[in-house]
Structure 1
C-alpha cells in the first residue's frame, strides 16, 4: 500500500510539473502587438465600408500588404470620423492613420509621417455640370464652398483666405461625409467643393450626380501614414518606411493603384 501511495504521489507530481511546463510555454510565446489604424468608412475608393460593412479600399489594402511583411505586429482597422481622427491618435485610441493624409508643414510639426509616400493626389474643384463661372481658386472668392474641418483641402482654402480681402465662404460639414457635400453641390446648397478627383468621380458615378471637375489641379500632394510623435510612433515609422519602399519598388503599389483608381498615382 505504501508503494502504491508513493507511486500515485509521483504521478500527481509529474502531472503538475507537465502542466506547469505547458503554462510556461504559453506565457513564453510572444503574441503579435496589435496596432490600431484609424481610417474613414466613407471615402471611396481609398477607405470605405463595402456591402458587408467591411472596410476596404486602396489605403486599407496598402496597410494589409505592410501587415503581411512585418513580423510581430498585427494591424486592425478602426472606422473613425475625419473630424476626430487626430484626436484619436493623440489619445492613443489608434496608433496610426492611413486615410489619404497629405503631408503639410503644419501637420509634420505635430505628427510623424512616413518618409515614403504611398499615393500622389491632386486637388481639384468640382461644380454642378454646365457651370462656367468657376475654374480657379480665385473664382471661389465670395462663393459658398463645402468643407471638412482640418483636411488638407480645407486648409488650402483657409490659407488662401488669409491672403485676400474677398474670402471664400467655407461651409463646414457637420456630418464629415464628402459624399453629402457633393450632394450639397448638386442641390445648390453650396457652389463648389474642393477635394481629390478620384474620390469625386467615384461618388459621382455611384450616386449618379450631375457634377463635373473643372479647371486645372490646384496642388499635388503626397500621402503618408501618420503616427503620434512618441517612442512607439518612431518605432512604427522605422519599421514601415522600408516596407513601403519595397512595395513601391516591386510594383505592388502600382498594382493596387490601378486596381482601385484606374491609374498609376505613385510618388517617385
Structure 2
C-alpha cells in the first residue's frame, strides 16, 4: 500500500510541476453582446427561450478560437441597438449589421464580414406584377425603422417622390409580414432568408419576388475606444481562421441552407 501511495504522490508532484511551468491560465473576459433576439434565423429565442441563431453561433465559434473571450448576449430592441452600445450596455453588436457612412463615423466595424445578406421585395403569395421597386407605384410598402433595407426604399422614394407610401414598423419583422399576408400593405423589403424563416414558422403566405436589390456584407460592431479596438482585433483574427478552415461556410449552410460567407 505504501508503495502505491509513494508512486501516487510522485505523479501528483509531477503534474503540479507541469502546471507551474505552464504558468497561470489566462483570465477569461466576459464580453456583452447586444442582439435583437427577434430576427430569425440570425438572432432569436428558440422554443425553450434560449437565444440562438447564426450570429450567435458565429460568436460561439469565435470563443473556441479565442479561449480568453466569453460572450454574454443581451437582447435589445432594434431601435435602441446602437444607443446601448454607446452607453456601454454591451461592447459588441451582432445583428447582421451593414456599414453606412454615418455609422462608420461613430463605430468600429470588423474588417472581416461574416455573412453577405441581400435585400428583396416580399409580397403575398399569388401577387403578380411586382418584380422591382419601379413596380411599387401607388402601393403601400411596409418598412422596418432604421433598417438598411428600408434605406433602399427611402432612397428610391427620394428620387421618385410620391411613387408609393411607406408605412413604418418598429423593426420586428413579424407584424410587417402579418399585415402583408392580410393585405393591409402591398410589399415589404427585407432579407429574403429572414422573411422566409418567419413566414414558415408563422404559416404566412408570403414570398420574395424578383432579383436581389442588393448584396451587402454583415459585420460585428464595436465602440470607438481602446476596448473596442482590442475586441475587434481578436474577433477579426478568429473570423479569418474560421473562413480559412471552412467552419464559417459550414455554419452558414447549417443555418441558411447555403454558403453566404463570401461576396
TM-score with structure 2 setting the length: 0.86
Does residue 1:206 correspond to 2:201, yes or no? yes
Report the Cα distance in structure 1 between the residues aligned to 2:82 and 2:137, rounded to whole angstroms.
29
Q: Which runs of 5+ in 2 are unaligned?
A: 1-23
Report the Cα distance in structure 2 between the residues aligned to 1:90 and 1:170, rounded to whole angstroms.
29
Instruction: Identify the residue that residue 84 of structure 1 maps to in structure 2.
Output: 80
| Deviations, residues 97-121 of structure 1 (Å, cap 9, x unaligned) | 1111112233222211111000011
| Deviations, residues 117-171 of structure 1 (Å, cap 9, x unaligned) | 0001111001111212321112224321111111110112122222122244221
Report the Cα distance in structure 1 between the residues aligned to 2:161 and 2:251, rounded to whole angstroms.
43
Question: Alpha carbons of 1:227 and 1:128: their partners in 2 closer, same or farther (altered >3 Å)?
Answer: same
Please state whether the residue corresponding to 1:153 is helix, strand or coil. Answer: helix
Does residue 1:58 correspond to 2:31, yes or no? no
Instruction: Identify the residue that residue 219 of structure 1 maps to in structure 2.
Output: 214
Report matched runs for 1:83-232 at 5 Å. Answer: 83-174=79-170, 176-232=171-227
Report the Cα distance in structure 1 between the residues aligned to 2:245 and 2:141, rounded to whole angstroms.
40
Report the Cα distance in structure 1 between the residues aligned to 2:110 and 2:131, rounded to whole angstroms.
33
Please state whether the residue corresponding to 1:189 is helix, strand or coil. Answer: coil
TM-score with structure 1 setting the length: 0.85
Instruction: Identify the residue that residue 15 of structure 2 maps to in structure 1.
Output: none
Instruction: Identify the residue that residue 257 of structure 1 maps to in structure 2.
Output: 252
| Deviations, residues 191-241 of structure 1 (Å, cap 9, x unaligned) | 111111111111111111111211110000100101111221111111111
Indicate the RMSD between aligned Cα atoms, in angstroms: 1.6
Question: Alpha carbons of 1:29 and 1:244: their partners in 2 closer, same or farther (altered >3 Å)?
Answer: closer
Please state whether the residue corresponding to 2:73 is helix, strand or coil. Answer: strand
Q: Which runs of 5+ in 1 are unaligned?
A: 1-27
Instruction: Identify the residue that residue 5 of structure 2 maps to in structure 1.
Output: none
1:45 to 14, 24, 41: 41
Report the Cα distance in structure 2 between the residues aligned to 1:228 and 1:155, rounded to whole angstroms.
23
Instruction: Identify the residue that residue 15 of structure 1 maps to in structure 2.
Output: none
Higher alpha-carbon Rg: 1
Does residue 1:238 correspond to 2:233, yes or no? yes
Instruction: Identify the residue that residue 14 of structure 2 maps to in structure 1.
Output: none
Question: Alpha carbons of 1:223 and 1:186: their partners in 2 closer, same or farther (altered >3 Å)?
Answer: same
Please state whether the residue corresponding to 1:162 is helix, strand or coil. Answer: helix
Displacement of 1:180 = 1.7
Report the Cα distance in structure 1 between the residues aligned to 2:240 and 2:202, rounded to whole angstroms.
36
Report the Cα distance in structure 1 between the residues aligned to 2:94 and 2:76, rounded to whole angstroms.
11
